[in-house]
A and B are shown apart, each in its own frame.
Chain A
C-alpha cells in the first residue's frame, strides 16, 4: 500500500544474478522485483537465500564473477544497469548508502571516527573542513551519541559495538542519501543496544523521508520494525506482504518460518519443522 502513497525511488524488475564458479553458473537471485518508496522495506530469508546479494547488487558492489540481468533497475532517473562507473561513484555513498553488519570491519582502524565521517561528507561535497566537522558533530548528535565532541576524537577500537554501529549510521547518513541499505545492521549487537540503534535508524528514516532496505534473518524484529516484508527463498521472492499482516502470510515457507520460532508466550512441546517443498524453487 505504501508504494501508492509516495513515488517509487527505486524500481527493480526481474533481477537475476548469477555467479560464475568453478562448477558452472550459480543462480543466486532469480527474478526479483520490487519498488521502494519512502518506507522501511525488509528483505528476510535464511542464509543463502540471496537477500544480501540483492542489497549489494543495487550498489553494484558485487564480485567480478557476477552476471547481472534485469528488465529494470532504476534509481530515480538513473538506470543502474547501464550507467557509467563514474555516475555510480556519485550515487554510492551520496544518494544511496549501505550499513554493514559489523562496524569493526567497516571502520578504518587507524583514523579517528570523526575524521572518517567528515571524510565521507567531503568526498561528495566541496566544503571547507571546518564545515564538514560541524556537520559531523551534528550528525553524531542525531544518532544520539551523548558527547559528540569526545567521540569525534576516538579511534574505532575505543568505541563499543553499539556506538560503532551508530557511528557507521552517522557516516552513511551524513551525505543525506535517499536510500539506505542496511545488511543485518543489528545482528552483532546485544538486545538493549540493538533497540537503541533501531530507534536511531527509525527516527532518521522518518524525519528525513528515506527509503530503507533492511536485510535481516529475524522475522520477529522485522515484523515490528518495518512497513513491508519481502520473503526470499532460494533466490526468489516467495512473498511480499505488509509487516502488520505477517500473521496472515499465505506462503507455506513464510508460515513455516514463523511457526518454527520459539516463543516465550506460547510454550510448545515441539517446534514445527519446516517441510521444504521443491515446488517453491520453481514457483
Chain B
C-alpha cells in the first residue's frame, strides 16, 4: 500500500532502516546507533569527544597516570623547567605540575558534573512550567530569571562566594545559581513553540494532566536543546570555576584546581612560563572540547534536522 511510494526521502529512510525494529529497546538502539553515526561524521566533534573522553579516563586513573604525588613538596627542585624527570616542570614548592594537572582533572569534572546536575533540572523545570502555563506564573518566573541574568555571571558568583565564604563547594553553588537562567529561558522558548503544537493538543484531548503533558511530552522535546546548551555551558563553568580559583575564592590551596594553579603561578610567570601555561592550556583544551562537542550534539539532537 502506501509504503510502496518510494519518494527520495522514504527511499533514504528505507536504506538506513533495513530492519523494522521488533521491540522498543531495539528501536531505541537503532536510534542511538544512528545518532552515534551522525555524531562521528564531523571530525571536529570527534576531536571534542576524544578530549572529553580523555579527561574522563585521566580522572578515573589519576593515581596511576600521575608520575608524582601532587601534594608532596620538594624544595630542592623548585621551579624546574619541563624535562624528562618532570614533564611539565615543577612549581614554586617543587611539586610536579603534570601530576597536579592530572589530579586537577578530577576537581574539574566534579565541578562540571555537580553544576550540571543542579542547573539542568532547575532550568528545565522553570522554563517548561512558565512557558506552558503562561500568565502570572510566567511573569513571576521570568522576572526572577531576569534578575539573575542581569548580573554578569562571575560578579554574581563572587557575591555569593563572598557571602558563603571561599571553598570549592560554595563555588559550585554560586556557579549553579548563575547558570540556570539561560537554560530556563531556552526551555521556555522551546515550550512556547510546542504548547500549541498538534501533538500537545492531541494529548490534552486525551485528558492528560498538565504534569503528564509537561513531563512526558514537552520536556523530552526541550531536553535536546537543553543538553546542547549545558554542554556548551560546561566550558563557561570551567572558566568561571578557574576564575574563582584564580581570585582565591574557589578551591583552596593545596588542592590542585587548575584556576588556583594559575593564580599561585602568576608571581613567577615572567621567568617560569610553564607554571601558568600548562594549566592554562588544560583549561583551554577542555573548554574548547566541550564547545565542539556541544556543536556536534546540536546537529545530532536537533529534531528539525531529521
Chain A 16-44 interface residues, beta-carbon cutoff 8 Å to B? 19, 21-24, 26, 28
> Is B5 touching A23 in the complex (CB atoms < 8 A)?
no
Q: Residues of A within 8 Å of B, CB-based: how many?
A: 15
B6 at the interface (CB under 8 A from A): yes
Q: How far is the CA of A19 from the CA of B7 in the complex (A)?
A: 13
Whether the Cβ atoms of A234 and B6 lie closer than 8 Å is yes
Contacts of A234 in B (CB 8 A): 6
Distance of B35 from chain A, by nearest CB (Å) = 14
Distance between A98 CB and nearest chain B CB, rounded to angstroms: 21
**In the complex, chain B residues whose CB is within 8 Å of the CB of A24:** 15
Chain A residues positioned under 8 Å from B12 (CB to CB): 21-23, 26
Cβ contacts under 8 Å, B7 to chain A: 47-49
8 Å CB interface, B172-214 against A: none
Alpha-carbon distance between A281 and B7 when the two chains are bound, in angstroms: 12
Q: Is the CB of A26 within 8 A of B11?
A: yes
How far apart sit A28 and B11, CA to CA, in the bound complex (Å)? 11
Question: Chain B, 9-29, contact with A by CB distance < 8 Å: what is the 0/1 string?
Answer: 111100110000000000000
Bound state CA distance, A46 and B4, in angstroms? 13
Nearest CB in chain B: distance from A275 CB, A: 9
Would you call B8 an interface residue if the criterion is a C-beta within 8 Å of the partner chain's C-beta atoms? Answer: yes
The interface residues of chain A lying within 8 Å CB-to-CB of B16 are 23
Contact B8 A48, beta carbon cutoff 8 Å = yes
Q: Which residues of A contact B15 (CB under 8 A)?
A: 23-24
Closest to A276 in B: B4
Min distance, Cβ B67 to any Cβ of chain A, angstroms: 45
Distance of A267 from chain B, by nearest CB (Å): 24
Interface residues of A in 47-81 (CB under 8 A from B): 47-49
**Least CB separation from B9: chain A residue:** A48
Q: Is the CB of B4 within 8 A of A28?
A: no
Segment 82-102 of B: residues with Cβ below 8 Å from A = none
Inter-chain CA distance A281–B11, complex, in Å, is 14
Q: Whole-angstrom distance between the alpha carbons of A46 and B7 in the complex? A: 9
Residue of A nearest to B16 (CB): A23
A22 to B11: give the CA distance in the assembly, Å.
12
Chain A residue at minimum C-beta to C-beta distance from B3: A276
Closest Cβ of chain A: how far from B43's Cβ, in Å?
A: 16
Closest approach, in angstroms, between the C-beta of A274 and any C-beta of chain B? 9
In the complex, A276 Cα to B6 Cα: how many Å?
11
Q: Which residues of B contact A49 (CB under 8 A)?
A: 7
Q: How many Å lie between the Cα of A36 and that of B15 in the bound state? A: 37
Q: Considering only CB atoms, which chain B residue lies closest to A234 in the complex?
A: B6
Q: State in angstroms the CA–CA spacing of A281 and B4 once bound together.
A: 11
Q: CB-CB < 8 A to B5: which residues of A?
A: 46, 48, 276
How far, in whole Å, are A273 and B10 apart by their CA atoms in the complex? 20
A28-B8, A48-B8 provided; 6 other pairs, C-beta below 8 A?
A: A19-B8, A21-B8, A22-B12, A23-B12, A23-B15, A276-B4
Cβ contacts A to B, 9 pairs, < 8 Å: A19-B8, A21-B8, A23-B16, A26-B11, A26-B12, A48-B7, A48-B8, A49-B7, A234-B6
